[in-house]
Structure 1
Amino acid sequence: MSLDSRAEGLTRRRIAAYGVGSVGTAVFATVPGLLLLYYLTDILGVAAGLAGLVVVLPKLWDVVFNPVVGAASDREAVRTGRRTGLMLRGAVALPVLFAVMFMSPFTGGVGAAWVAVVFVLAASAFALFQVPYVGLPAEMAADPATRTSVTARRVIYLTIGILLGGGLAPALVAAGGEGRAGYVLMGSVVGVLMLGALVSAAIGTRWVPSSPGRALGLVAAVRAARGNRAFFALLISYVVHAVAVAVMLAAAPYIATYWLGGHGLTSVLFVCLVAPSALAVPVWEKLARRFGRLRCLTVATVGYAVGAALLLPAIALGGPGPALALVAVLGICYAALQLLSLALLPDTVLADADRTGQTQAGTFTGLWTAGETAGMALGPGLFSVALTVSGYTPTTWDVPLTQAAEAKLGILIGFTVAPAVLMLASLPALRAFGRRRS
């Protein structure tokens, strides 16, 4: 079946079946980045430096593991003509491990070890689903506009998942008493939601035929991918974007607690970031068709950097109102960062197929998701460094502390200046991508 004929079969129901998987993946990408560092430092009493390692190291495992899954996905596609076998395994395992991660009966170093081990297993299960899932649009349609439309619908579901993760998860923690019991409740409820979304997508995308041509081993696959310079330029920019957003996510509970008046404002912060992005996705899709996807992506990157920098005086001098308004502006830019990067990814996969004669979607999406997860892990890691350097004192929920002025300043800089600098640092990679694809 040709890509053109497959595009004719892209009914709304099939696009929805594909897109709903992003609800589950977004929850897993969001909740640990938003709450796990805070859970370790302020619930389990883990020192900030150790907590940062716990958050970063399991995700960095994915840098190695995701390309392995990508090669395995291509082998599955050669053998069966589908990529959904790995997806289904990950869809079943990930929600269970996610819930267990927030059920540590221990504090301190032993509690950190519990979280680290389960997080590694959860990240591995996530890779089994996410790597083949991200590669499917390249096998759904040949037309870039059609793939952008599919990606736009997926980003809408992604936004719903981010809202569920960032808005519902802190609310469930609060409903459970905000201590350990709250995190157990949150992990259980959110895990059930993830299970429904991921399994539905794994089953609902069985119709997509996959034909990578041949299955490469990991080393050979990476060697073949090295010639795709446009892909790597786009990947670098996307990873830097992920680090910037992840820094803000990790800092959000601390900003809410120590600058905006209370931990309960974490959900409000998150809704202000994500809700506008849901409304902005169709607008960015239209703008991209008129002005070009890369140009719009560049504008959104600069806009996010400016908005993040302006948050520093807004929070320090203006309080919650101006800060929440600026976060909403960032949400509009965030929609473009997600939509347009993911819309450009299949272009690089198919361009490589024209160059080599082989469609290695699993290889490229394995590398892509490895970079994405590394970026989402490095963000909390960088923020934990800011906490450590500024003298942040860990605690448990039943022994609240007032942090020193230096620690509060470190939190504020981590939430504002660091993401702004990172966004600007991604611009050379975007320029390089434009040169390579032309």
Structure 2
Amino acid sequence: MNNSGADSYPEPQITSEKLDFTTKLAFGAGDLGTAISAMILISYLSPFLTDVAGLNPQLAGTTRLVGSVWDAVNDPMVGVLSDRTSSQQGRRYPWMIWGAVPFGLFFLLQWIVPPFASNGDGNQWSLFWYYTIISILFNTFYTIVNLPYTALTAELTQDYNERTSLNSFRFAFSIGGSIFAILVALGVSLVIPQNLNQQYLVLGAICAIVSVVPLYLCVWGTKKRFFAVTKIHPETEASVSLPFLEQLKITFTNRPFLFVVGIYLCSWLSVQLTAGIIPYFVVSWMRLPQWHVSTVLLAVQGTAMSMLFVWSAISRRVGKKAVYYMGMSLWIIAQSGLFFLQPNQVGLMYVLAFMAGFGVSTAYLVPWSMLPDVIELDELQTGQRREGIFYSLMVFLQKICLGIAVNLVLQRLGAAGYIKPTAGFPPPIQPNSVLDVIRISIGPLPAIALIIGIFLAYFYPITREMHAEILLKLKERKEKLEN
């Protein structure tokens, strides 16, 4: 793809920070592919590794931890490099363009069971290294396409409410991608009911193909707006000159950023820990067929998607923090209820899944709409636009915590005596020690994290009025420099 650059577009005619529907739609599409892959990995990779590939839970937990740690480590690297990128395509687009195809390829390779897997327990370490290396490569390209994409949020508009609206579109596609992934998983499990190996391979192939195309649609659909904004706000494309260590120091002294990170970590730890343990909860505790895993996830994600624009509209009236309180309260009740749920209460399980969806929706929407406001405060303080470092550090910390949490759960399942299912036979009755690990991981642990998140949101300092004041000061400084 050649570097046609900004000059291929006519002079911009933007007189408002408001975004048109087409731009919002194209931007939202950029999160579709990564959401599909993330949902499949969160919900299905652990049982694939333990029940299909044959890794013992401890090694499966370790390979997931290594992948998550590397995924976290490469975030600041790509963030800083994208901040410093100088290209006719802008700072972010080259990464998305060249990373999309390898991103899809390495996602697919995670669902292949290599030939040496059938040679018995002696190949545990060979399997471990295969899945660990593929995970490292996949996570590298996941970051290469996803981090520059997320940094575009602050570069398409500076309007406080428009950013919430923009994130509504983004997460509508994100949740839509999750729902699509779950529907594909459900369909594959019904069409190929007896062969788990084939199920996961077909699922991986379909999702890999579908995940690549939306990234190019996003680039194509937002470029015109992006280059128009850089004409009006050239500071958004200015290359960052601060040394990396100094950037880190400044970033971690930004108090509102630390609150946003805490809110995000608490809510997303709950999302991903719950999604990761649901397959074990549904099959081992509730004693339900495998397809119920997909329908439970569908209930959560479907509710979350339907509520996104409702929460966005409410946010315009009462603010981001109030919306967060409402969603989290319902979610805490749902997570607590799952701990006390009994195997015969299938209907109640779905009611709790729908309730959780209300809170999951705010977990998607609120922290990411807060972060651009933090970036403008940093610009006021440092004189430089540093979207990449903020987005990368936020995701870095989230991935580290998630990797540790998933690893600990799998380690505890293995230590408690988890029994691997045998193909062609009903799921085994797990010992009480394993069931206790599953129930604690789906109930008390996420609920405690959500309560901490509410506490942090209460002290988050940037209000709508404070953000308006930040933008006014930035505008005044820009006018002085121009004069």
Q: Give the TM-score of the pair, scaled to structure 2.
A: 0.84
Change (3 A) 1:297 1:255: same
Verify the 8 A CA contact 1:44 1:395 in the aligned structure 2.
no
- In the alignment, which residue of structure 1 is the partner of 2:296? 269
- Partner SS state of residue 206, structure 1: helix
What's the C-alpha RMSD, in Å, of the aligned pairs?
2.5
Verify the 8 A CA contact 1:20 1:157 in the aligned structure 2.
yes
Could you tell me how far apart the structure 1 residues matched to 2:245 and 2:12 are?
28
Greater RCO structure (CA 8 Å; 6+ sep): 1
- In the alignment, which residue of structure 2 is the partner of 1:119? 135
- In the alignment, which residue of structure 2 is the partner of 1:50? 59
Number of matched residues? 437
- Partner SS state of residue 426, structure 1: helix
Mean CA deviation greater in 2-11 or 73-82 = 2-11
- In the alignment, which residue of structure 2 is the partner of 1:29? 38
- Partner SS state of residue 403, structure 1: coil
| Residue 92 of structure 1: how far off its partner (Å) | 1.6
Mean CA deviation greater in 1-10 or 268-277 = 1-10
Report matched runs for 1:115-154 at 5 Å. Answer: 115-154=131-170
| Residue 125 of structure 1: how far off its partner (Å) | 0.3
| Residue 63 of structure 1: how far off its partner (Å) | 2.1
Could you tell me how far apart the structure 2 residues matched to 1:149 and 1:360 are?
22
Larger radius of gyration between Structure 1 and Structure 2: 2
1:180 to 180, 197, 202: 197
| Residue 60 of structure 1: how far off its partner (Å) | 1.1
Change (3 A) 1:205 1:369: farther
Could you tell me how far apart the structure 2 residues matched to 1:187 and 1:383 are?
24
Could you tell me how far apart the structure 1 residues matched to 2:373 and 2:446 are?
28
1:343 aligns with 2:369: yes
- Partner SS state of residue 434, structure 1: coil
| Residue 9 of structure 1: how far off its partner (Å) | 7.2
Could you tell me how far apart the structure 1 residues matched to 2:323 and 2:304 are?
15
1:94 aligns with 2:120: no
Could you tell me how far apart the structure 2 residues matched to 1:367 and 1:56 are?
18
Unaligned runs of 5+ in 2: 1-5, 118-123, 228-235, 467-483
1:286 to 313, 326, 331: 313
- Partner SS state of residue 185, structure 2: helix
Could you tell me how far apart the structure 1 residues matched to 2:309 and 2:70 are?
35
Q: Give the TM-score of the pair, scaled to structure 1.
A: 0.92
- In the alignment, which residue of structure 2 is the partner of 1:329? 355
- In the alignment, which residue of structure 2 is the partner of 1:206? 223
1:234 aligns with 2:260: yes
Verify the 8 A CA contact 1:273 1:327 in the aligned structure 2.
yes
- In the alignment, which residue of structure 1 is the partner of 2:476? none
Verify the 8 A CA contact 1:130 1:369 in the aligned structure 2.
no
Overall identity of the aligned pairs, in %: 22
Could you tell me how far apart the structure 2 residues matched to 1:348 and 1:226 are?
12
Change (3 A) 1:231 1:5: farther
Query: Partner letter of residue 243 of structure 1?
Result: L
Verify the 8 A CA contact 1:62 1:373 in the aligned structure 2.
yes
Change (3 A) 1:213 1:94: closer
Change (3 A) 1:423 1:11: same
1:256 aligns with 2:272: no
Query: Partner letter of residue 134 of structure 1?
Result: T
Could you tell me how far apart the structure 1 residues matched to 2:392 and 2:88 are?
18
- In the alignment, which residue of structure 2 is the partner of 1:171? 187
- Partner SS state of residue 248, structure 1: helix
| Residue 180 of structure 1: how far off its partner (Å) | 1.3
| Residue 317 of structure 1: how far off its partner (Å) | 5.7
Query: Partner letter of residue 267 of structure 2?
Result: H
Could you tell me how far apart the structure 2 residues matched to 1:421 and 1:25 are?
28
| Residue 78 of structure 1: how far off its partner (Å) | 7.2
Could you tell me how far apart the structure 2 residues matched to 1:140 and 1:164 are?
27
Could you tell me how far apart the structure 2 residues matched to 1:214 and 1:80 are?
17
- In the alignment, which residue of structure 2 is the partner of 1:71? 80
